[in-house]
Structures are given as structure tokens and as C-alpha cells.
Amino acid sequence: MNGDTITLAPGVGAGARILSDAKREHYRLAWLSTVDHKRIGILYMLTALVFFVIGGIEAIFIRIQLAVPNNTFLHPDTYNQIFTMHGTTMIFLVAMPVLFGFVNYILPLQIGARDMAFPRLNAFSFWLVPLGGILLHFSVLSGGGAPAVGWFAYAPLSETPYSSQNNVDYWALALFVLGIGSVGTAINIIATVVSLRAPGMTMRRLPLFTWINFINAFIVVAALPVLNAGLVMLLIDRRLDAHFFLPLAGNGGGSPVLWQHIFWAFGHPEVYILALPAFGMLSEIIPVFSRKPIFGYEFVAASSVAIALLSFGVWAHHMFTVGMGRTADLFFAISSMLIAIPTGVKVLNWTATMIGGRLRLQTPMLFCIAALIQFTCAGLTGISHAMPALDWQTKNSYFLVAHFHFVAVGMIVFVILAGVQYWFPKMSGRMLSERLGKWSFWLMVIGFNMTFVIQHFLGYAGMPRRVYTYPDLPGWTWMNLVSSFGAVFMTAASLVLVYNIVLSLFRGKPAGDNPWNAWTLEWATTSPPPTENFHELPPICSRRPLWDVANPDRPDEVVGAVDEPIRLPDKNKTSILVFIFSEIGFFGVLILAYLYFNARPQPGPGPQELNLFKTAIFSVCLFASSLTIWRAEVSERRSQKGAMAAWLAATVVLGGIFIGGQGMEYYDLFRSGVNVSTNLFATTFFTLTGFHGLHVCMGLIALLIMLGLTLAGDFQRHHSTALTAVGYYWHFVDAVWVAVLTVVYILPHLR
Amino acid sequence: MTMNTWQFLISAWTWNPGVLAAGAAALAGYVAAFRDRRRIGWLLAALGVFFFVLLSPLNALADGYLFSAHMAQHILLLLVAPALALLSLPRDFSLPKFLRPLANPCVGWASGVGAMWFWHAPALCNAAVASKPVYAVQTVSLLALGTMFWWQTLAPREAQRISPLAGVLYLFTACTACSVLGIILTFSPVTVCASYLHPTDRLGLLGLIREDWGMNLERDQQIGGLLMWVPMCLLYLSAIFAQFARWYGATPAPVQPVLKEKIS
């Protein structure tokens, strides 16, 4: 075993150089201008806390309204608004930000990195959260009140004829903004794990929290663009009078079911986007408090990948009640049951970790154990929803409400609370009070189970979900009352937690570096860590480097070779490839929508309006530009400034010609009276080619920046992979055009 | 003339001499070429799949009756038979020099995914049903392209394969690309393979299929698409697990007694 510690060069955190250090640390700017991953992580969590209060108050209003039958506490429309805002807020503004906050704070520490790969992108992604939250809540002032279409915004209710106010537009814009932020964070996470690991931190030695969030980032990158594509289609429907999701009388209408497919193709992976980080936390906390390494590291790691893959193939189980046909129901029933296997494997791993361990039943562990039990219940009710016949009976009842709150609160929130208890000492340098922690734990357990266990029975007694009130039927009244009383306990638990945090910040016991005797690298530095995170790192030969340091006589078995070299691919190239991966998802949905609506000729204008010959000429220009940018890269490598600038300029000109050509085509179509709302062909055509054109324009901007930098001599001073990254993006834009050209222009000629 | 399901399952086997000869030739070639025949079981399994696909009632159904049966054949020929055949190669096997350019990850990925998309272009799909020579070309090409696809992860020697994590990505993206086609087939409002619209009822099966089994045209195409989407993804997923086993298993797995630490 290599006994030398790794000493890091004294450095500074990645920070803007515009301000002096003193100015940057001034209290008015320190948090607003920060690009430090730790501060951004805390900002994420505080933002989530603010929205948690808002979403929590909404939940309390819902439970007050439902506490007694025929209640008139809330107007039905107000109830719908609060109900929509509760769901949207809790998912997009509480759960995702708080989990991203943890990842932001902990993940770079766990791999011994100084910061995230792209600190400024990190800050940008964070600030999109408040922006999205403000957009969403601004809708309250827009005249029609908050959106009242549910967090799922099913068409046609979300379409203009049924929701004519601006509120749904704000909802869609807010989610779009939040989606962009999430993709940005996910790209950053992947680039960080791929490119910034400390010496010795091979991919096989990653702590499970890091590994699982690494995998999770891929789900985010693949799933959020699907939602974003759906949202832009919804916005095009609402603002430009198209009808993607709006059925029309007679022929040529859109499909509300398509919205459901798009929404759940995002929505089901979203469940795992929230659950996987929680799985990661469980995989860290349970071993530490069982004083044993995790049982079956490999199985926990690989089953996460299985979950990531399967999560994209099961969305239609949210749609059994839509009537997709028996065949589709059957396949999705099977695939939905299969996803229980990797999840069950994990539960077994955590349980087996505890067996034979020396359990320390401190607050973080208590929350984990409760989460494990409640999650198992949630899994069992979940499996029952995988059976279409049973699902038809229970889907639209309170049974389903109980099921997903068992996942979202019983597992995810409980684990987040465990994480708060576990990592608070690292973030603040002070311990949370155990006594208050146990108070909030027991209040939470009682409150949660009181609120939601009984809802299973309410569902079986036939109470439908999404209703603002109910008649005084046998059993319904007292069960609802019990459920509402549970919310009181949960509120009390939250207040105790906030009190505990505030109190401990000032009076808490000093934590020291490693209060829990944990084994991962975040505990190898001071609490809170310095800006640059580490002054030195212990040697990393196994998955528990701090165990090896504490027990030199019986270290963990070395994973791989002792001095295994690590490969760290370039972060620019990595991030742009991941970005391209997410863009494929976005364009994939647009292309599928085009194919779906144009499989049969639409009444009105169709592909025959398009001029293949002219388009082919412009396309050749675009394809040629792939060649010129490649030459520019070659010139860069050879340090030929003039040639590089010339090739870049040629690329810009060729791209410009393509955009000009597309503009001409649009102009011709507009002149012959074809615009985006004419029929579904025109809608899908303009959406697909328009977004492609937008991406070409973005590429042109990037190219012009590169050109400017070249002329300023930037690339001569030091070689950079930036141009290669831009090149990748540009090739991707060309590749999308190959697909668009084939589908839109060439395919109709083959019929 | 109608028959019930059992009569059909018993009577619809064909003894296509070309297929039998090809299978026998493969076996003979294997025995002749390799002295180390410990892995011949894999080859027998591959041949079993091969014969099942082309001689069994599945082939009769795919021959103009059911798109979904055709899809099952497609999956078995592209993904299962070549994988088993590659596993049968002795571990010291190396590719002849002229084939090496084909052992490239991009080529492999493109052949695996391309084979799926290419043969489901409506014109080609119809041609393969209507014409025997095209069908033969399809079968051979599926086996060849499938071999090229799997070579990247199932090649006999470690040095010939891509790294395990790259393999996960390779399989993940291939799975996604095929799933998209499966989604299109499942939810497409139009028939992809028009040949199956009006089967010529040579075997007198139509009554059995349409009435007893309840397989109408929409359901047939839906099953076809779903087969490509869900079970095929599970095949890729199994392969992904194999990659993880390979990755974590690269050094002997640590066998440890339960560690108990004294709380300090």
C-alpha cells in the first residue's frame, strides 16, 4: 500500500478574476457572485427550503380543505390552483434543487476535486432555479390565478380553449427554464466525475453516492429534453395557434395522448431522477452507521444502471387507463414489474449491510431505516400498479396518492432529512442536536404514516384523487380527518428541524473533521472545507480511503492495482458530447412527432410544397461546413493562425448561406399562405426545421466567438480543446440536418 | 381447411435443405478449424437458434402471415445467434487480417443498429417477404451484421474488446436507437410492412391466426414493435450486466470477513 499522502499545490478556488478577493468576500457579493460549488450547493438547499415552505403551506391548505366533507374552505378553482402548484413546486423547486444541492456540495469533495468542472455553468444552472420559481409564481399575478391543470398539465385541459389565461404559459416557461438548468447541472456532474477525479480515484473506487449521481446525471440529460420538447410544443400550441395536442372536430387534429406519452416519457424517469440521489445517500449513510462496508458494492452500482435504462421503457404504465390496447398494456406491465428487480436488489443490499453490523441508531440512521421500510411498502403498492387490471381500479383513487407520497415523502424526503443530519456538520462545522433530531424524526414518522397509510384505505373505499371535496360517505370522513391531523405532526417535525438548524448554527457542538468516523474523502478535510477543498489527500487505493488511514494494519482490499493510473478525458469534449446526447433527445421527440403526424398525409399543405432541389443546394453548403471546421481544427493543431481564421470564416459563411436558404424557404411558404398554424404538417415542419435553424444560429455565434479569439491570437498562446468542442457541436447540427432532410424532404418521395 | 394450434405447431416444420446444409457446414468448419473444442456447446446453441428461426413454425408465420413473427426472427438472428456463435470461438482466436477493419466500434455499432433500421424501411421489408432471394440475403446479412455488432463486447480475447464502460455506453446507445424504432412501429398509425396486409393463405392458417389467436393487423404490428422495444432492450441490458461483471471482475473480487470496528 502506498503510504504517501497526495499533497496539492496551494491554489485558489475557481473564481472570477474581475473582482479582488476582498471584494468577492464582501457579504453583499459573497453569495450572489459565488462560483464555489459548496456555496452554490447551500444556495440550492436554501432555495429548496423556501419553496418547501411554500409547497408545504399549499399541502396544509389541501389537507384543511379535505379534512371534512363538503368543505367550503377553498373555492374549487382555488383548490385546483393550489393542488397544481403543490405538485409542481415540490417536484421541480424542492426535490430537484435540494438533491442537486447535495450533489453540488458533496460530489466534488468525495472525488477529491477542487470544484465542479464548470463553476460558472454551475452558478448559471443554480440561478435558473429562482428564475423558474419566480416565473411559476408570477402566474398568480397574471390575471387568471395560478395554473390549475395539475402538475402533469394534461391536454386538452392545458390548451387555450380550456385554459385561456396566461398561467399555463408561465407554468410551461418555468419548467422549461428549470429543465435547462437541470441539464446544465447534469452535464457539469458528468464532466466533473469524468475529468476531475483525484489521483487514485479510479472509476471502480468511486463512492456510491458519486457513482449513483453520475448515472443519475445521464437520466437527467436524457429525460429533461423530452419534457422540454413537449413544453415547446405546448407553447407553440398556445401562443401560435397550432394544435399538436388539441383534437379538432373532423380531420387533422392533434393528439392529447401524445402529450401524455411525452410527459410520462419524461415523468417516469423523473421519479428515478429524484429517487437515485436518495439511493446514493442511503448507500453512504447506512454502512457508516452499521460500521460495515456496503454489502455488494458492485450490485448497488450496476443495478443503478439497470434502473436508469429500464426507467425509460416503462412510462406507459402511467397510461393504462388511457386505453392503449391489451398488447401494449401487457408489455408495459412486464417491463414495469422488471424494474422492481434492480430496486429490490438495492433494498436487499442495504438490509444485508445492517445485518451483523454494529448499528449506531443516531438520527441519520433512524431516518434511513424508516425510509427503507416505507420505501419497501411503496414498492409493493407500486408493483400493484404494474398490473393493468388492478391499476384500472386504483389509478384514479387515493391509493395512488398514497403510493407516490410513500415514494416521494416516505423515502426521498426521509433520506434527504437523513442527509441533512449527516452532512450538516461538514457544511457548517457544527453538529445538529441529536435530541431535537430525534424529536423531528419521531414527529415525522408519526405524521407521515398518519397522513398517508390511511389514504391507501381511502382509495380502496373509492375516494377519487384530484377532487376538491367529497360527500359524507361511510368511512371517508374520519379517514380524511386522520390524514389531515397527520399533516399537523409533519408540520411540527419541519418546524423542529428548522429550529434545530438555526440553533445548531450558533450553539451547536463543534464537529471536527470526521464526526461520524466515515470513510469517504469529504471527511478528510476541515468542516467546513476551505475554498480549495483539500490541502492534502490521503492515498486512495480502495473505496474507503479513510478506513485505510485509520486502520493501517487491516486496510480494505485494494481495488485494481495500487498505483493504478487514472484516465481523465478532457472536460470540454466530455461536456459537449453529453450536451449533444441531450440534444439528440430533444430532436428525437420533434422528429418522432413529425413522423407521427405525417405518417398519413394531412389535409391542406404537405411535403409537396417543399422544393427538394433548392434545399439540397443549401444542405450541401451545411455539409461542406463540417469539412471546413475540421480543416480549422487541423490548422489550430499546426498553429497556423491565418489558415485557421480563414477556415473558420468559411464555416461561418457556409452556415450563413444555409440559414439564408432556410429563410428564403420560409418566406416562400409564408407567401403562399402556409404558416405554423395552418395544419399539422406545417406545425411540425416549422417546429422541427425552426429549432434546427436556431441551433445552427447558436453554432454560428460560437463560431464567431472562436473567430474573434483566433484573430486576437488566443489559440496561439495555448492550445485549447474549445475549438474541438465547438466542432463536435457543429458536426452534430449537420447530422441532425441529415436526419431532418431524410425525414422531411426525401421520405415523401419514396412513398 | 383449418387446423388448430397443435396441428399447426406439429405440421409447420420445414426441412429447408439450404438451411440444414449451412448449419452442417458451420459445424464441420468449426471442427476442422479448431483443435480446442471445449466451447462447442455455444456453437450448438447458436445452431439450435438458427434452425429454430428458419425451420420451425415461427418461419411459417413470418412467411407472409405475421409481422411480429418476422420481428422475432429478426431479433434472434441479429442478436442471439451471432452472440452465441462468438462465444463458441476458442479464446485464442484472432481475426484474419482482411476482416480486421470491420472490428471497429463505430462499424460495429452502425451494423447492429443499421441492420434494424435498414430492413424495416417499408420497401425492403416488403421485398424480404415477397422474394425468396431477398429473404436469404436478409438472413445472411443479419447474421453477419450481428456478429460485427457483438464482436466489440464478445470477442474471444480481452484485447479485442472495447473497455467495459465504453461497452456499457455502446450497448446503451444501441438499445436506445432500436427502442426508438420499436416505438415508431408500436404507435405508428400506418402499416409499416404492407406485405402482411393481405396474406396469401397458402397453409390455411388465416382463420387460426385471426379468429383463434385474435391477431388482427394492428395488434400484429404493435407486438412487432413492442418485441423490438421491450425484450430486445432486456437483451442489451443483460449484455450491459455482463460488461459490469467484466469490469468489476477484472481483479479477483475481494472476499472479506464481516468487519466489525470498535467504536472509538
What is the average per-residue pLDDT within A142-167?
91
Position A4 pLDDT exceeds 60: no
Q: What is the pLDDT of residue A751?
A: 65
Bridge partners (DSSP) listed for residue A536: A7
Q: What is the pLDDT of residue A563?
A: 81
> To the nearest whole angstrom, how far is the Cα of B69 from the nearest Cα of chain A?
15
Q: What is the pLDDT of residue A18?
A: 59
- Distance, CA of A529 to chain centre: 27
Q: DSSP assignment, residue A573?
A: H
Site from A197, A327, A341 to mutate, B interface, most B CB atoms within 10 angstroms: A327
> To the nearest whole angstrom, how far is the Cα of B94 from the nearest Cα of chain A?
27
DSSP string, A507-548: HPPB--S-TT---SGGGGS-SSPPTTS-SEE----SS-HHHH
Alpha-carbon span A593 to A231, nearest angstrom: 13
Q: A746 touching B, CB under 8 A?
A: no
Chain A hits for B218, Cβ within 8 Å: 325
Cβ of B240 and A596 within 8 Å?
no
Nearest-10 Cα torsion for B186, B191, B194, B197: 90
B36: CB partners within 8 A, 6+ apart: B90, B92
Amino acid letter, residue B106: C
C-alpha cell at A496: 423542529
Cβ of A325 and B223 within 8 Å?
no
At A29, the pLDDT band (50, 70, 90 cuts) reads confident
Bridge partners (DSSP) listed for residue A7: A536
Among the partner-chain residues B229, B236, B254, the one whose CB lies closest to the CB of A557 is B254
Q: A559 touching B, CB under 8 A?
A: yes
| A window 588-607, beta carbon within 8 A of B | 588, 592, 595-596, 599-600
Amino acid letter, residue A303: S
Compare all CA atoms of chain A with the CA of B171 and give the residue at the minimum distance.
A309
| A window 480-539, beta carbon within 8 A of B | 517
Amino acid letter, residue A709: L
What is the average per-residue pLDDT within A636-644?
89
Q: What is the pLDDT of residue B2?
A: 63
pLDDT tens readout for residues A534-551: 999 999 999 999 999 999
Position A260 pLDDT exceeds 90: yes
Compare all CA atoms of chain B with the CA of A515 and give the residue at the minimum distance.
B264
Q: A301 touching B, CB under 8 A?
A: yes
Position A2 pLDDT exceeds 60: no
Q: What is the pLDDT of residue A468?
A: 95
C-alpha cell at A717: 498562446
Alpha-carbon span B174 to A516, nearest angstrom: 43
Among the partner-chain residues A261, A331, A556, the one whose CB lies closest to the CB of B230 is A331
Position A521 pLDDT exceeds 80: yes
| A window 687-706, beta carbon within 8 A of B | none
SS3 of A60, please?
A: helix
What is the average per-residue pLDDT within A616-640?
93
Q: Which of A10-14, A52-56, A83-87, A421-425 has the lowest mean pLDDT?
A: A10-14
Give the ipTM of the model, two decimals please: 0.85
Angle between helices A641-671 and A680-711 (to 10 degrees): 160
Chain B hits for A292, Cβ within 8 Å: 258-260
In the numeric block, the cell 460558472 is attached to A120
Q: What is the pLDDT of residue A123?
A: 96
Q: A556 touching B, CB under 8 A?
A: yes
Among the partner-chain residues B226, B241, B248, the one whose CB lies closest to the CB of A331 is B226
Q: Please report the number of interchain residue pairs, chain A to chain B, with beta-carbon separation below 8 angstroms.
A: 97
Q: What is the pLDDT of residue B197?
A: 81
Q: What is the pLDDT of residue B257?
A: 44
Cβ of B179 and A313 within 8 Å?
yes
Alpha-carbon span A587 to A102, nearest angstrom: 31
Q: B189 touching A, CB under 8 A?
A: yes
Alpha-carbon span A171 to A254, nearest angstrom: 21
Alpha-carbon span B28 to B15, nearest angstrom: 19
DSSP string, chain B: ----HHHHHHHT----HHHHHHHHHHHHHHHHH-S--TTHHHHHHHHHHHHHHHHSHHHHHHTTT-HHHHHHHHHIIIIIHHHHHHHTS-TT----GGGGGG--HHHHHHHHHHHHHHTTSHHHHHHHHH-HHHHHHHHHHHHHHHHHHHHHHH-SSGGGSPPHHHHHHHHHHHHHHHHHHHHHHHH-SS-S-GGGTS---TTS-HHIIIIIS---HHHHHHHHHHHHHHHHHHHHHHHHHHHHHHHHTTSPPP--PPP-----
Q: What is the pLDDT of residue A1?
A: 39
Q: What is the pLDDT of residue B251?
A: 61
Compare all CA atoms of chain A with the CA of B183 and give the residue at the minimum distance.
A592
Compare all CA atoms of chain A with the CA of B234 and give the residue at the minimum distance.
A310
pLDDT tens readout for residues A50-96: 999 999 999 999 999 999 999 999 999 999 999 999 999 999 999 99
Q: What is the pLDDT of residue A6?
A: 62
What percentage of chain A reaches a pLDDT higher than 90?
82
Site from B220, B230, B247 to mutate, A interface, most A CB atoms within 10 angstroms: B230
SS3 of A397, please?
A: strand
At A8, the pLDDT band (50, 70, 90 cuts) reads low
What is the architecture of the domain spanning A34-248+257-550?
Up-down Bundle (1.20)
SS3 of A121, please?
A: helix
Alpha-carbon span A414 to B4, nearest angstrom: 57
What is the average per-residue pLDDT within A692-711?
95
Residues lower than pLDDT 70 in chain B: 1-2, 251-264
Taking Cα atoms as reference points, which of B163, B153, B169, B179 lies closest to residue B232? B179
Position A187 pLDDT exceeds 70: yes
Q: What is the pLDDT of residue B22?
A: 94
Cβ of B222 and A327 within 8 Å?
yes
Among the partner-chain residues B123, B237, B261, the one whose CB lies closest to the CB of A291 is B261
Cβ of A599 and B250 within 8 Å?
no
Q: Is B185 in contact with B120 (CB distance < 8 Å)?
A: yes
Cβ of A327 and B219 within 8 Å?
yes
Q: What is the pLDDT of residue B258?
A: 43
Cβ of B259 and A313 within 8 Å?
no
Average pLDDT, chain A: 92
Q: What is the pLDDT of residue B256?
A: 46
Q: What is the pLDDT of residue A363?
A: 96
Chain A hits for B239, Cβ within 8 Å: none
| B window 73-92, beta carbon within 8 A of A | none
> To the nearest whole angstrom, how far is the Cα of B52 from the nearest Cα of chain A?
24
C-alpha cell at A61: 391548505
Identity of the highest mean pLDDT range in A199-203, A226-230, B177-181: A226-230
Chain B hits for A309, Cβ within 8 Å: 172, 175, 233, 236-237, 240
Domain boundaries, chain A: 34-248+257-550, 574-750
pLDDT tens readout for residues A434-449: 999 999 999 999 999 9
Q: DSSP assignment, residue A246?
A: -
Q: B165 touching A, CB under 8 A?
A: yes
Tell me which H or E stretch contains A165: none
> To the nearest whole angstrom, how far is the Cα of B72 from the nearest Cα of chain A?
15
What is the architecture of the domain spanning A574-750?
Up-down Bundle (1.20)
Cβ of B240 and A305 within 8 Å?
yes
Q: What is the pLDDT of residue B259?
A: 45
pLDDT tens readout for residues A664-687: 999 999 999 999 988 999 999 999
Position A3 pLDDT exceeds 80: no
Among the partner-chain residues A326, A334, A592, the one whose CB lies closest to the CB of B230 is A334
